[in-house]
C-alpha cells in the first residue's frame, strides 16, 4: 500500500512480516498478555507503540481482535490509529462495524486508516459506508476510501453497489490529486480494468510520476488478457513511449517488465538497444525482460558481452 499515511510504519514492516510467519506457525505471543501490549499503545513514544503492535500481531486473533474493538473508541487519537491499523492487519470481518464507525472519526488520520483497514479486509458490507466518503475533503481519507472500493466490491453480494463503486472509481481516474488517481487505478484492478484501456493509456503519460508508474504497471497486467488486436497495439505503443521517452529510471524499467508481461515480440529490438546503450539499471531490466520474451536472444547477447 503506498502513500504518506503509513510511511513511518514501514520501518517495522520486516518485524511484522516475521510476526505473521510466527502466527502462521502457531506460535502465540510471549511475555506480557495482550492487555498490557494494548495499554502500551497509549505511549507517547512511537517506537514503543510499534513494538506493542508487533507483539499484538503475533497473538491469536480470536483473543486480540475483541480487545482491540473495545479500544477503538479510546480518547487517545494515537491509540485509535494503532487499533484500526491492527484490525486491518488481522483482516477479521468481525472488525468491519468498528472500522465503519471509525470512518467518521474526528481525526482524518484515524478515518483514513479505517478506510485502509476496510480495504485490507475486503468485506462487501463495507462498500455502502465507504461510498458515503468518496467526496471527503481530506486528501488522505479520500485516497484510502477510493483504494478500498475495489477490494470491497462483490457482484455476487452487492451487484448494484458494485456498479456504483465502479462508476466512482472510473470518474476518479481524472481526479485532481495524483494520489486519488493512483488509488482509483489500483481499485480498478479488482474490476479487471474493465472498459479502461484508453484511460490507463492516457494515465501512462500523466504529469505525476507516481501515476505514470502505476499506469505502466497496469498496462502490463491488462496486456496479459485476451484483447482485440487494436487494443493490444495501443498498449504496446504506449509502453514504447514510456520506455523511450520517460526520464525516470523506475518507469523505464517498469515499461520493460510490462512489455515482457504483454509478450509482444516486437519489443525485442528496443530491449536489445537498451542492453547496448542503457544505464546499468536499464541493462539489467532489459536483460530480465528479454529472458521473458526471447531467452535465445538474451542468451546470445550475453555471450557477446
Full DSSP string of 215-247: HHHHHHHHHTS---HHHHHHHHHHHHHHHHH--
Q: For residue 74, tell me if it sits in a domain.
A: no
Q: For residue 196, tell me if it sits in a domain.
A: no
The CA-atom distances, in angstroms, between 270 and each of 146, 235, 277, 299 are 36, 15, 11, 16
Are the beta carbons of 230 and 260 closer than 8 angstroms?
A: no
| Listed residues 126, 160, 190: the one ending a domain | 190
Q: For residue 201, tell me if it sits in a domain.
A: no
> For each of the chain's 305 residues, which pLDDT tens digit applies?
434 454 444 444 444 444 444 444 444 565 678 899 989 999 999 999 999 899 999 999 999 999 999 999 999 999 999 999 999 999 999 999 999 999 999 999 999 999 999 999 999 999 999 999 999 999 999 999 999 999 999 999 999 999 999 999 999 999 999 999 999 999 999 999 999 999 999 999 999 999 999 999 999 999 988 788 999 999 999 999 999 888 999 999 999 999 999 988 899 999 989 988 889 999 999 989 988 887 665 454 554 55
Looking at the structure, do residues 181 and 215 belong to the same domain, yes or no? no
Looking at the structure, do residues 186 and 219 belong to the same domain, yes or no? no
- Write out the three cell numbers for 68: 482491540
| Listed residues 133, 161, 190: the one ending a domain | 190
Looking at the structure, do residues 179 and 104 belong to the same domain, yes or no? yes
Looking at the structure, do residues 213 and 304 belong to the same domain, yes or no? yes
Looking at the structure, do residues 213 and 305 belong to the same domain, yes or no? yes
Q: For residue 127, tell me if it sits in a domain.
A: yes
- Write out the three cell numbers for 237: 505503443
Are the beta carbons of 102 and 114 closer than 8 angstroms?
A: yes
147: domain CATH number?
A: 1.25.10.10
Are the beta carbons of 76 and 84 closer than 8 angstroms?
A: no
Q: For residue 68, tell me if it sits in a domain.
A: no
What spatial distance separates the first Cα and last Cα of the chain, rounded to whole Å? 39
Domain residue limits at 9: 1-60
State pTM to two decimals: 0.84
Q: Establish how many alpha carbons lie within 13 A of residue 64's alpha carbon, considering only the half-sphere containing its beta carbon.
A: 28
Q: For residue 195, tell me if it sits in a domain.
A: no
| Listed residues 37, 60, 83: the one ending a domain | 60
Number of structural domains (the chain) is 3
Are the beta carbons of 82 and 41 closer than 8 angstroms?
A: yes
Looking at the structure, do residues 231 and 147 belong to the same domain, yes or no? no
Identify which of 108, 59, 55, 114 has the alpha carbon closest to the alpha carbon of residue 83. Answer: 114
Amino acid at each position: 500500500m503506498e502513500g504518506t499515511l503509513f510511511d513511518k510504519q514501514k520501518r517495522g514492516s520486516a518485524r511484522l512480516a516475521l510476526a505473521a510467519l510466527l502466527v502462521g506457525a502457531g506460535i502465540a505471543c510471549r511475555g506480557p498478555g495482550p492487555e498490557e501490549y494494548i495499554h502500551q499503545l497509549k505511549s507517547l513514544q512511537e517506537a514503543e507503540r510499534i513494538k506493542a503492535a508487533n507483539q499484538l500481531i503475533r497473538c491469536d486473533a480470536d483473543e486480540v481482535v475483541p480487545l482491540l474493538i473495545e479500544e477503538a473508541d479510546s480518547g487517545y487519537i494515537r491509540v485509535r490509529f494503532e487499533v484500526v491499523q491492527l484490525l486491518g492487519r488481522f483482516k477479521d470481518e468481525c472488525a468491519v462495524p468498528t472500522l465503519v464507525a471509525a470512518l467518521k472519526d474526528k481525526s482524518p488520520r484515524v478515518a483514513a486508516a479505517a478506510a485502509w483497514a476496510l480495504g485490507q479486509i475486503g468485506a462487501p458490507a463495507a462498500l455502502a459506508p465507504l461510498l458515503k466518503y468518496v467526496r471527503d475533503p481530506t486528501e488522505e481519507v479520500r485516497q484510502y476510501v477510493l483504494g478500498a472500493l475495489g477490494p470491497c466490491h462483490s457482484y455476487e453480494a452487492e451487484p448494484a453497489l458494485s456498479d456504483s463503486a465502479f462508476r466512482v472509481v472510473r470518474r476518479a481516474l481524472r481526479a485532481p490529486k495524483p494520489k486519488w488517481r493512483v488509488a482509483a487505478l489500483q481499485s480498478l484492478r479488482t474490476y479487471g480494468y474493465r472498459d479502461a484501456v484508453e484511460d490507463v493509456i492516457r494515465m501512462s503519460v500523466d504529469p505525476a510520476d507516481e501515476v505514470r508508474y502505476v499506469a505502466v504497471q497496469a498496462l502490463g497486467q491488462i496486456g496479459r488478457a485476451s484483447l482485440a488486436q487494436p487494443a493490444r497495439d495501443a498498449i504496446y505503443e504506449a509502453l514504447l513511449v514510456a520506455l523511450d521517452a520517460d526520464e525516470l529510471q523506475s518507469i523505464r524499467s517498469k515499461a520493460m517488465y510490462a512489455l515482457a508481461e504483454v509478450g509482444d515480440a516486437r519489443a525485442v529490438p528496443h530491449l536489445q538497444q537498451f542492453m547496448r546503450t542503457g544505464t546499468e539499471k536499464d541493462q539489467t531490466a532489459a536483460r530480465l525482460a528479454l529472458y521473458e520474451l526471447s531467452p535465445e536472444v538474451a542468451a546470445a547477447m550475453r555471450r557477446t558481452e
